[in-house]
Amino acid sequence: MFGSVFLEVAIGISFIYFLLSLVCTTLNEMLSQILGMRAKNLELGLKRILSDERLRTAFYRHPLIRSLGRTPAAGQPVRPSYIPPQTFSMVMMDVVADQVKTAAGPDGSHARTDSFDRWRHTVSRLEQEDIKRVLSGFLDVSDRKVEKIRTHLEMWFDDVMDRVSGTYKRKTQAILLALALGLCVVVNADTIEIARTLWNAPVIRQGVVAAAEKQAQPPAAREKASLGELTGQLNALNLPLGWRLDNLPQGWQWLTKIIGLMVTALAVSLGAPFWFDLLNRFVRVRSSVKPVPRKGSP
């Protein structure tokens, strides 16, 4: 009996953490879209690749790149939030060729039949030394195959964006923690109080466990819930969420309250995938535990 109650409380707390994590994730996505965080992160990566502003501006103004983002204000380049590596390599080769043509003038073309030789000649006439050195290195290890140059460009882009994405993930984690802390304070999501309620109120506990078991299904079988739907699910659990002026902590109770809120915020910042996986594990364990039959029962 004790073990069963303990497991049900664990399921209930994991479920609350999961719902709160989904709320934070939704808020974080909204904030990311409003601030254009992904586009700025991509721009940071492109600045590391294309330090020359002319090349970078030409890159953003390319039709393939413009098709990936919103229509900007007049005279402003598009700032997409994602660029496929294959698109990056195609645009890079096109932009580099255009830069050389512009610098050489209308008579700067050269009659060469081999595409690799034409590309080497193009790179040799680049004015931007940084990108010229990188592309020259790619030419030296491409076995005279233009396709391999594109492959090296794509690998280079992926490598730079992986490093930039690490910085973006750390920023996102910090924002998620701040959102989690703010959300927990606003809704009074106190882990200690929630655990106490689940332990002492069997009816509420059973209702939360039933809701958790319903939620614990493959992600493909669940529809993405909106912010309003998630709030409704939390309200339907009848847990001690929210503040009441006639039931505020007194004296040393505030210390327990702060600890409970901090525990919830730290747990929620781990993210919805973590708590969804743990919730499923608890539900599977509970379903595998068979009740001990009473003596004299058939």
Domain map (residue ranges) of the chain: 2-35+168-288, 50-164
pLDDT at 60: 86
pLDDT at 78: 67
Checking if the pLDDT of 32 tops 80, the result is: yes
In which band, very low, low, confident or very high, does the pLDDT at 106 lie, cut at 50, 70 and 90? very low
Q: Give the range among 18-22, 97-101, 213-217, 268-272 with minimum mean pLDDT.
A: 97-101
Checking if the pLDDT of 217 tops 70, the result is: no
Checking if the pLDDT of 264 tops 80, the result is: yes
**Percentage of the chain modeled with pLDDT above 90:** 23
Mean pLDDT score, 165-183: 89
- Is the separation of the CB atoms in 179 and 28 below 8 Å? yes
Residue 76 or 203, more confident: 203
In which band, very low, low, confident or very high, does the pLDDT at 297 lie, cut at 50, 70 and 90? very low
Residue 79 or 236, more confident: 236
pLDDT at 3: 58
Angle at 148 between CA 146 and CA 151, to 5 degrees: 120
Q: What is the 3-state secondary structure (H, E, C) of the chain?
A: CHHHHHHHHHHHHHHHHHHHHHHHHHHHHHHHHHHCHHHHHHHHHHHHHCCCHHHHHHHHCCHHHHCCCCCCCCCCCCCCCCCCHHHHHHHHHHHHHHHHHHHHCCCCCCCCCCHHHHHHHHHHCCCCHHHHHHHHHHHHCCCCCHHHHHHHHHHHHHHHHHHHHHHHHHHHHHHHHHHHHHHHHHHCCCHHHHHHHHHHCHHHHHHHHHHHHHHCCCHHHCCCCCHHHHHHHHHCCCCCCCCCHHHCCCCCHHHHHHHHHHHHHHHHCCCHHHHHHHHHHHHHHHHHCCCCCCCCCC
pLDDT at 180: 93
Mean pLDDT score, 239-251: 84
Residue 147 or 73, more confident: 147
Checking if the pLDDT of 107 tops 60, the result is: no
Task: Provide the Cα torsion 147, 153, 156, 160; round to 10°.
Answer: -150
Residue 100 or 181, more confident: 181
Mean pLDDT score, 205-228: 74
Q: What is the average pLDDT score of the chain?
A: 82
In which band, very low, low, confident or very high, does the pLDDT at 172 lie, cut at 50, 70 and 90? confident
Residue 12 or 223, more confident: 12
Checking if the pLDDT of 277 tops 70, the result is: yes
Mean pLDDT score, 123-150: 84
Mean pLDDT score, 183-202: 92
pLDDT at 220: 43
Checking if the pLDDT of 100 tops 70, the result is: no
In which band, very low, low, confident or very high, does the pLDDT at 197 lie, cut at 50, 70 and 90? very high
Q: In this structure, how many other beta carbons lie within 10 angstroms of the beta carbon of residue 225?
A: 16
Mean pLDDT score, 50-70: 83
